[in-house]
Structure 1
Amino acid sequence: MIFRLAATLVIAVSFAASTPQTAQADAGDFLGGAVVGGVVGYAIGKDQQKKKTRTTTRTYRPGIPSTTQGAQTQTALNYFGYNAGRVDGQVGRGTRSAIERYQATMGYPVNGYDFQPYQYDFLMQAYYWATSGGQATMQLSGQPLLMAYRQKLHSGSAVAAAPQAPAQTTPVATPQEVEPEAATAETQSASLPSLFSGGTGGPSLANRCSGVMLQTSTNGGYTTLSNMPDPDFALSEQFCLARSYAMARGEELLQDVQGLTPDQVAAQCDSYGDMLAPQVVALSLNSKSDAETQMRKLALDSGLSPEDLAATSKVCLAIGYRQDNMDTAVGSALMLVAMGEPAYGELIGHHLREGFGVQERRDLAMQWYDASLSALDAGSQAVFLPSQTDRPQLLRAAMVQAQ
């Protein structure tokens, strides 16, 4: 493993010293250099180790275990002034008390042991927005900043005037341009899909998901099988929820990358997205089968193993969503499907349905939805909310009703 890491880092250095003259570098040159040099340097050893040690039953108690989501929650709670204590990922009494104070502020049911996904997602969306420039725009901090963010979402101005990411020392993707108008809280449930749809160069998915989380909060929680007044909005909720899980998984893997800073990895994932951009554009033109065939050919030409490409894509999927770089995000999801992880096809279905990063094609979206759900029926591992066993049924019901 150490030899492998050292060798790939040498390749990364040689790549950096010889920048390609064209934007579309040869697949083998790029994948064999930039991405493998850093992102996959730690590679599959970590991922496979987690698979081997995964158990079917786990017991969770306050303070045990330390988790990435726990650390993210503590970081965001502390940022907004709820004092969850030291960021150690262990959700104990202090963190649960902070969660209860956050729930009380937001008007949620107060129970630190029942931290609902929509409550976590809204907290993290607010944190991402604030740390990407919202704090400087509002000139506020702590709980007033959180409440100002919620108020701006209600008025639509947080979507209309989303802050750009701060300047970086290495190249990163710039959030996409946002439409000048947004829906009010009362009309978001029905109008969000049409207001935010678009192709490449369209509006921000991060802002869209912030609006979805706001409406979910207003509704008192996620849509369920027994309560689905708006199937389109139910699919949007599941889109944003799957995005959050993909980000959390990739950021967890990113912590184990050795030899490169997060900004350097982000810059490499940005280039990864540039390379995959033609495949992303083709998603709106080709059938699912043709799109997978083209991506598998690209992967084969790279000379890398499916495991290495999958590990790279999981990291770059998270970074693509974090930076609103749809070429990186959608391309990474497509690579994961091509490398034998069909559950990620759900993301492609969502993108095609709503037109984020690709041209809207709801007919093609159904192919990706059907294939990912059929794979789950056949025993494929669920990657989004695996503990929610009725989620496939919810997706199917929403798909049928939304047609």
Structure 2
Amino acid sequence: MIFRLVAALCLTFALSTANPQIARADAGDFIGGAVVGGVVGYAIGKDQQKKKAQRSTTRTYRSGIPSTSQGAQTQTALNYFGYNAGRVDGQVGAGTRAAIQRYQASMGYPVNGYDFQPYQRDFLMQAYYWGTSGGQASTQLSGQPLLMAYRRQVQTGTAVAAAPQPAPQPVAPVTATAAPAEPAPEPEVTETATAALPSLFAGGTGGPSLANRCSAVMLQTSTNGGYTTLANMSDPDFALSEQFCLARSYAMARGEDLMEDIQGLTPDQVTAQCEAYGEMLAPQVDTLSLTSKTEAETQMRKLALDSGLNPEDIAATSKVCLAMGYRQDNMDSAVGSALMLVAMGEPAYGELVGHHLREGFGVQERRDLAMQWYDASLSALDAGSQAVFLPSQSDRPELLRAAMTETQ
């Protein structure tokens, strides 16, 4: 059924003509069986929703890592690089704090297992994603040497992106009775030349790696002794890059929390579905740098309305595929999902669109258009819209606004 719904979503997106309507979407509010956006299969029963509510109230240790999925992710990464955090249970106790200290010491960070800074965790997770997505296979290293190899590659600007390369298709063996294959015809020169022409306006997965960029930003943040604040900001461009990478990390963490409730699909199948979702939204991503914020948002709402799908399901799909897009460095999926979330009534995600337009990841760089998205996102927060990135950091909007002003 899930694949039939994907086909239906493709068809309705392609035939969209109706007028848009604004709809509020919050993936955490719906209960019961659902198919999220016709792309990712959810089966969230009342008992699962109750567990999610219980997880959200679980106490937080002094290290700042919740004793839930984020703690488990950190333990998994620490164990992967040989720091031995013990059993992966999400509970940040003495063993995990000791592992954090060993990681901090090896990286040259201040050693304090109770004070695990966000930039320290972000770099650890980026290295883990890289290692598990091909870095370990390409370097033939493991444990701490693998982490150090990743840091050296980031420092020299040669780190491979977190996105894995597509696996080659298996070739059927030739039996003894098989007829010899006909020689392949020579390609026509005109066809070859046409296929080789680049598209200067193509967004999507080509171009520089955002994963590499954020890893480099985290290293510089470490050198600076922590994140830029209003009081010490001297480089507004770098401050915006830091906030971009922070927002990316938060989006990934939120999407991974949602993925815990996906049933009936393997992680690889979720990745494939999100890649398909990104392909559906790619035309909107391609034109994002050529149109105003109002027009881009209106067109995306039209696509969502004409799909005939529940706005809550589309929003939940977008949150999952936003996380997967960032993890896989698939900018069609990431940028398209962020744009869709804005169209579904969650303006705080417009900050991500602004960052992409400012730095040119997945779209053509347009700093003038980026300011439209930044301004709208911050104005929505001023008007009481829910913050989705670092909600506990009350001065973050002022930091963003000050950095924006100085870079204009």
TM category, shorter: 0.7 to 0.9
* Structure-2 separation of matches of 1:69 and 1:112: 16
Q: Secondary structure at the match of 1:41?
A: strand
* TM-score normalised according to structure 1 size: 0.81
* Structure-2 separation of matches of 1:401 and 1:131: 39
Amino acid at match of 1:60: T
* Structure-2 separation of matches of 1:400 and 1:51: 40
The root-mean-square deviation of aligned C-alpha atoms, in Å, is: 3.0
1:367: how far off? 0.6
Give the match for residue 164 of structure 2: 165
Per-residue CA distance 1:11-65 (angstroms, 9 max, x = gap): 315458xx69xx96442899xx98645525336979986997798x985347996
Give the match for residue 13 of structure 2: 27
Give the match for residue 387 of structure 1: 392
* Structure-1 separation of matches of 2:124 and 2:222: 11
Query: Are 1:317 and 1:329, in contact at CA under 8 Å, matched by a contact in 2?
Result: yes
Query: Are 1:43 and 1:311, in contact at CA under 8 Å, matched by a contact in 2?
Result: no
1:297 and 2:302 equivalent?
yes
Per-residue CA distance 1:252-272 (angstroms, 9 max, x = gap): 101111111111121111111
Alignment of 1:154-233 (within 5 A): 154-158=155-159, 161-162=160-161, 165=164, 167=166, 199-200=203-204, 201-233=206-238
Give the match for residue 2 of structure 2: 12
Q: Secondary structure at the match of 2:290?
A: coil
* Structure-2 separation of matches of 1:347 and 1:50: 30
Pair 364,45 (structure 1): closer, same or farther in 2 beyond 3 Å: farther
* Structure-2 separation of matches of 1:240 and 1:388: 15
1:134: how far off? 1.4
Q: Which stretch of the first structure deviates more once superposed, 106-115 or 43-52?
A: 43-52
Give the match for residue 60 of structure 2: 60
Give the match for residue 154 of structure 2: 153
Instruction: From the two aligned structures, give the one with the greater helix fraction.
Output: 1
Per-residue CA distance 1:275-305 (angstroms, 9 max, x = gap): 1111112211111111111111111101112
1:330: how far off? 0.6
Pair 43,301 (structure 1): closer, same or farther in 2 beyond 3 Å: farther
Amino acid at match of 2:100: I
Residue from 323, 326, 337 that aligns with 1:321: 326
Query: Are 2:203 and 2:363, in contact at CA under 8 Å, matched by a contact in 1?
Result: yes
1:169: how far off? 9.6
* Structure-2 separation of matches of 1:87 and 1:51: 18
Per-residue CA distance 1:329-349 (angstroms, 9 max, x = gap): 111001100111000000000
Give the match for residue 272 of structure 1: 277
1:258 and 2:263 equivalent?
yes
* Structure-2 separation of matches of 1:36 and 1:46: 22
Amino acid at match of 1:89: G
Amino acid at match of 1:81: G
Return 5+ residue gaps in structure 2 as ranges.
17-33, 170-201
Pair 40,376 (structure 1): closer, same or farther in 2 beyond 3 Å: farther
Pair 168,296 (structure 1): closer, same or farther in 2 beyond 3 Å: same
Pair 221,230 (structure 1): closer, same or farther in 2 beyond 3 Å: same
1:242 and 2:247 equivalent?
yes
Higher RCO (CA 8 Å, separation ≥ 6 residues): 2
Query: Are 2:38 and 2:309, in contact at CA under 8 Å, matched by a contact in 1?
Result: no
1:342 and 2:347 equivalent?
yes
Pair 202,78 (structure 1): closer, same or farther in 2 beyond 3 Å: same
* Structure-2 separation of matches of 1:28 and 1:223: 44
* Structure-2 separation of matches of 1:354 and 1:44: 41
Return 5+ residue gaps in structure 1 as ranges.
1-10, 171-197
* Structure-1 separation of matches of 2:329 and 2:40: 19
Amino acid at match of 1:84: A
Q: Which structure's CA Rg is the greater one? A: 2
Pair 51,366 (structure 1): closer, same or farther in 2 beyond 3 Å: farther
Count the aligned residue pairs: 357
